[in-house]
Amino acid sequence: MNQTIETILNHRSIRKFKAEAITDEQVNTIIKAAQQASTSSNVMAYTIIGISDNALKEELYKVSGHSHVKNNAHLLIFCGDLHRINQLANADESVSIEDNLESTEQFIVATIDASLAAQNATIAAESMGLGICYIGSLRNDINRVNELLELPNHVIPLFGLVVGYPDHQPDIKPRLPLEAVYHQNKYLPFYEQQKHIEAYDHEMKQYYQTRSSNTKIDTWSDQMVRKFSQPTRMDVSPFVKQKGLNLK
């Protein structure tokens, strides 16, 4: 196994960081790695906002409710961004880009581009001995994050990424068996996935009972059904539309 694969397979989210800072050089390397990710037609439909202002971090922490949003070496916010393209097109009166700008297709492009960049940033950070945690809970109040970061139209905050030196070593969380997520030539009917899901539920039950902190009795299936039964962040859809994205 090479070092890159080892780094990837060693991933676990880090939610407690040492006070130790990271250098500007480290941050720049992480961002350069993010930028080198593949990007749909080279559109680069994302912007990454680094949060160095502690008062702003505190406000973002209030939105997320997670202490690791304020206690970290650096916080990055990944935004889907079609503003740049719109500005370019606005300068040319002979073209109209509205149909594309407002399409679900370009909304998907922006979220994919931002996610690929973030995962490259993750691997770069982890390869330097740093830990990370994605922060979707910034969407607990997406309008507030939008306001705090002064995002223009066609820019939406998708998630944060906290980075720093790990101050704990959580157990690696098992994933679904490969057969459940990797299907051959066509979609595997659910009844054939079921045995893999049952095996995973068994494994996760053990994992939750024996992990080094926050033990509980639960299975993945129960957790997912509970999660999806609870309407969550229903204000995100109107927010995205109000920003001029995913309208058609």
Ligand X SMILES: Cc1cc2nc3c(=O)[nH]c(=O)nc-3n(C[C@H](O)[C@H](O)[C@H](O)COP(=O)(O)O)c2cc1C
Q: Cα–Cα distances in Å, from 19 out to 28, 74, 163?
A: 20, 11, 12
| Closest to 155 (Cα-Cα) out of 147, 164, 163 | 147
Q: Which is nearer to ligand X, 85 or 164 (CB)?
A: 164
Residue 167 beta carbon to ligand X: minimum distance, rounded to whole angstroms: 15
Comparing every residue's Cβ against ligand X, the nearest one is: 136
Query: Pattern 98-137, binding to ligand X, x per CB under 6 A?
Result: -----------------------------------xxxxx
Q: Among the candidate windows 7-15, 106-114, 195-203, 220-228, which touches ligand X by CB under 6 A?
A: 7-15
Residue 15 binds ligand X, judged by CB under 6 A: yes
Query: Pattern 138-177, binding to ligand X, x per CB under 6 A?
Result: ---------------------x-------------x----
The residue type found at 11 is H
Q: Cα–Cα distances in Å, from 175 out to 14, 125, 132, 161, 179?
A: 17, 22, 18, 21, 11
The residue type found at 232 is T
Residue 147 beta carbon to ligand X: minimum distance, rounded to whole angstroms: 19
Residue 111 beta carbon to ligand X: minimum distance, rounded to whole angstroms: 10
- Report whether 123 contacts 39 (CB < 8 A): no
Q: Which of residues 79-98 bind ligand X (CB under 6 A)?
A: none
Q: Which is nearer to ligand X, 134 or 208 (CB)?
A: 134
In which element (H, E) is residue 76 found? strand 74-81
Strand spans (E) along 142-208: 155-164
Q: Which is nearer to ligand X, 134 or 165 (CB)?
A: 134
Q: Residues touching ligand X: how many (CB under 6 A)? A: 13
The single residue among 17, 47, 66, 146 that binds ligand X, judged by CB under 6 A, is 66
**Token code pair at residue 150:** 């002064």
Residue 135 beta carbon to ligand X: minimum distance, rounded to whole angstroms: 4
- Phi and psi dihedrals of 157, rounded to 5? -75, 130
Q: Which is nearer to ligand X, 58 or 192 (CB)?
A: 58
- Phi and psi dihedrals of 79, rounded to 5? -120, 140
User: Which strands, in side-by-side order, build the sheet including 46-51?
Assistant: 46-51, 74-81, 155-164, 131-135
Q: Which residues bind ligand X (CB under 6 A)?
A: 11-13, 15, 64, 66, 133-137, 159, 173
